[in-house]
Structure 1
Amino acid sequence: MTGWFSKKALDPTLTLITEPFVHPYMSANIWHLKGREVDLLVDTGMGICPLAPEIDTPSGKPLLVVATHIHLDHVGSLHEFAERAGPRQSAAEFARMGDAATYAEEFRGLEGAVSRLPYPGWCREAYRIEPAPLTRILAEGDIVDLGDRRFTVLHLPGHSPDSIALFDERDGLFFSGDAIYDDVLLDNLPDSDPDIYRHTMQRLLELPVSVGHGGHGPSFDRDRMQEIARGYLGIG
C-alpha cells in the first residue's frame, strides 16, 4: 500500500528505506545505493508490501540485491528482484525460506507486529516469505562492483552463521547488516554464537570504516563502531 515505506535520502546516491509500522524488533534498514553502472540494494525488509515499486533504478540499469543474512526482516521482498545475491553459508535455504532459517514464525506470533494494517484483511498469522533462490553466492573476499565503487564481501558471523557485510576499501563505506549496528545487538537466537561473535568484534575493531550503515539503528562512524565493539567485548 502507498505509505507503508519511509524513505530518506542521505546523499544523491544513497537512500535509506524503512518500514515504520513494523514492530521495532523486526523493523530493519534497507539501503539503496546508486552506482555508475549497477545499483545496489542491501536487504529487503519484511515483504509485507511490495518493495520493488519503491526502488527508482532506471529501466535497463542492473540492480543487484544483496541479502546480508537470511533472517526474515532482511529477506522478505527478495523474491521481487531478478538479481539476488546472498551468503554462501545459507545459500541453499533461500530456495525454501523455511521458518527454521528465517524465523518467520516469530512474526506470526508477535503481539503488536504492526502498528497499522498494511491493507484491509491483513493478518500476521498468514505471514510467509516467498522462496528466492540466489542467482549469485557471496563469500569472504568476493567483489561487488558497481562501476564507480567496489565492495569487498566480509563474512562476519556471530549474530547468525551467515552474516556478511560489504566494505569499500577505497573510502571506508560499510554496509554491515546485523554483524554490527547501533542498537541492542542480538546474540541469543538459536543460530547465534557469542564466542564467534567476539571474534567478529575483534576484527571490526581493526576495520578502517569511515561510515557504517547497519541493518538496524542509525548510521555510525569508526569511533562509534569501535565503541559498540568494545562494549560487546567488555573492554571499555
Structure 2
Amino acid sequence: MSDDWFVRRSVDRQTTLLTEPYVDSYFSANIWLVRGSEVDLVVDTGMGLRPLRPVLDLTPGKPVLALATHIHLDHVGGLAEFGHRLGPRQSAEAFATMPDALTFADEYREIAEPVSRLPSPGWVPADYRLMPAPLTRILDEGDVIDLGDRSFRVLELPGHSPDGIGLFDEKNGVFFGGDAIYDEELLDDIPGSDNAAYRRTMERLKTLPIRIGHGGHGPSFDAKRMREIIDDYLAK
C-alpha cells in the first residue's frame, strides 16, 4: 500500500528507512524496517499521525516485532498497531498509558506548526494523542532478538533518556542507536536527560565494533563517523 505521508528508502537488502517529512523537524524521527528470514523487526514507529503498518509491505503471516528504543512520542506513535511490542524495562509500565510526562506529547500539541501538511482532513494539534501500547516483551541489557538469519543484542544506553536502548548485530556489525547517538545535534538538556549517564554511554560506544550505525534521527554513519560524534560530545 502506498502512502505519501511517509518517504521510504532502501538502505540495503534487509533494511528500509521510513521518515515523516511533513512533521516538524524536531519531532521527525527515523523508522527502520529490518527483514529477517523468519521474523521482521520495526525499530521505532514514528509519530502515529498516519497508520504505519499498512505501508511497510510486510509478508502476510510472517511475524513482525515492533520495538521502541525509548518512550518519547516520535518513537512510539505507531506502536499500538502491532501485536508484538518490545521496549525497555526502565519505562515498561508507562507504555500502557503513554503519559505526557514521559512521552512529551503535550509539547507537540502546543507548538505553532507541528506539521507542514495535515495528516488527515480537519486534524488539529489539540487532537494529538498516543495510543496505549502495553509491552508484550520487556527488554533488558544483553537480551537477544532473533530474526532467524540474524540476531541483535540489547544495549542499555541511558543519557538522552533514562530508558534508552540500542541494538547490535555483532556478526554483521549493524547497530541501531535510537536517540543515544545519531548524526545530528544530540539532546541532553530535556527532562529526564542525564549528562553523566550520557558520557558513560558514549565511552561505552567508543569501543563498539560497528560497521554501520542507524540512529533515531539523521543519516546513517560508519565507525569513523561514530567516533567523531562521540569525541565531539565528550569534548563539551
Give the TM bin, normalised by the shorter chain.
Answer: over 0.9
1:232 aligned onto 2:233: yes
Q: CA deviation at 1:13?
A: 1.4
Partner of 1:5: 6
Structure 1: state its 5+ residue gaps: none
Misfit runs of 4+, over 6 Å? none
Partners in 1 of 2:120 and 2:198 — Cα distance?
A: 39
Partners in 2 of 1:37 and 1:57 — Cα distance?
A: 12
TM-score, normalised via structure 1 length:
0.98
Partner secondary structure for residue 65 of structure 1:
strand
1:147 aligned onto 2:148: yes
Letter in 2 for 1:40: L
Counting only pairs closer than 5 Å after superposition, residues 3-82 of structure 1 correspond to structure 2 as 3-82=4-83
Once the two structures are aligned, what percentage of the paired residues are identical? Answer: 61
Contact kept? 2:177, 2:216, Cα under 8 Å: yes
Partners in 2 of 1:69 and 1:217 — Cα distance?
A: 17
TM-score, normalised via structure 2 length:
0.98
Partners in 1 of 2:154 and 2:207 — Cα distance?
A: 16
Partner secondary structure for residue 10 of structure 1:
strand
1:177 aligned onto 2:178: yes
Q: Which string of whole-angstrom CA distances, capped at 9 and with x for unpartnered residues, describes residues 64-105 of structure 1?
A: 111000000000010000000000000000001010010001
Q: CA deviation at 1:126?
A: 1.1
Q: CA deviation at 1:110?
A: 1.1
Letter in 2 for 1:160: S
Partners in 2 of 1:10 and 1:98 — Cα distance?
A: 33
Structure 2: state its 5+ residue gaps: none
Partners in 2 of 1:150 and 1:212 — Cα distance?
A: 15
Partners in 2 of 1:23 and 1:50 — Cα distance?
A: 18
Partner secondary structure for residue 53 of structure 1:
helix
1:101 aligned onto 2:102: yes
Partners in 2 of 1:105 and 1:187 — Cα distance?
A: 19
